[in-house]
Homo-oligomer: A and B are copies of this chain.
Amino acid sequence: MPERKGQHTVLFSSRPTILGAAAVVGKKEGEGPLGPQFDRVFEDTTLGAKTWEQAESALQREAATLAIQKAGFVPSQIHFLFAGDLLNQCIASTFGLRELGIPLFGQFGACSTMAQTMAMAAVFVDSGAADVCCAVTSSHFCAAERQFRFPLEYGSQRTPTSQWTATAAGAAVVGIGGKGVRLRAACGGRVVDMGVTDVNNMGAAMAPAAADTLARFLTDTRTVPAEYDLILTGDLSAAGAELFCELTQQRGLRVQDRYNDCGLMLYDRRTQDVHAGGSGCGCSAAVVCSHILREIGAGRLHRVLFIGTGALMSPTSCQQGESIPGIAHLVLLSDD
């Protein structure tokens, strides 16, 4: 049963279990350092679909279907889906998951969506509202580029601080009991806006939200960074990660010796031409639903704070001169 701790943290007393998880990615992500750990790598990033948006839907369907299979269920046994993505009106999720026939509560947290959907699934399962839920999200480089920036055909230049939207999806099936990584707590993110307006530096826009959520979680739970093996943001990438470390230091928190960012883990920045690193809902989803869960399962990590980070802008809000607010939702993943 969930219990609120402090102001914005929820502890899950029945320790919901990730009974199955899947990460599916595109060619470039498959060529990165985590390549061998993904369930499927699609050399053809259209996945046979006619449009990039439909390809992203297919990614999400693949991830959810695989995760449900790996957990030993059929779709009709899943009580609720929590899913979202970056596309206008979340069409990757709604069209991608349409045929599963499972009730769907659409979630929008921009690139923080994986952490948010995991938190929702954990609340539902821990409270008895559901026996089993599935958390899913995705992004697709080609769909995101044309929606947020320029059509690919323009071949436009990218700035050094820009991030590369991952072509990837991740899914986690959450239930009670059984074997698997446990969801022990969640902390809800506030909208934090420091006035950043550079759409090519989302990391800087999101870092203050990540620092805010981490600080509130540590206060709520009266814990310190040293009690966790890994503090993992997703995805601040190079510029944002550096800023995150500075901002946490200003608050008297030492994270550097146990910190990483999904956007820095997905690609080899020296050779893969992704500039500051990866981004997109699918980036942290794929990193967490493969490598991170595996590391915890193998006993190499014990307690991981996964802080999903999102930039809450749209092309319209930017064109209208608005700054870029950030948000960060946190979940505590544990081996016990």
Contacts and interface: CB of A to CB of B under 8 A. Distances in A.
A6 to B, nearest CB: 10
Nearest to A81: B188
A320 B90 contact: no
B105 A116 contact: yes
Determine which residue in A10, A50, A147, A189 has the highest number of CB atoms from chain B within 10 A of its CB, and name it: A10
Nearest to A96: B191
A102 to B, nearest CB: 7
A312 B131 contact: no
B320 A128 contact: no
Nearest to A187: B103
A301 B162 CA distance: 55
Contact of A188 (B105, B127, B187, B327): B105
B314 A91 contact: yes
Contact of A53 (B51, B119, B187, B320): B320
Interface string A86-102: 11111100110110011
A217 to B, nearest CB: 11
A104 interface: yes
Contacts of A80: 8, 188
* Complex copy number for this chain: 2
Nearest to A129: B2
B314 A104 contact: no
Given A128-B2, A325-B98, A316 B87 contact: yes
Contact of A87 (B123, B131, B191, B314): B314
A317 interface: yes
Contacts of A79: 4, 7-8, 188
A29 interface: no
A92 to B, nearest CB: 10
A1 interface: yes
Interface in A268-307: none
Contacts of A246: none
A327 B89 contact: no
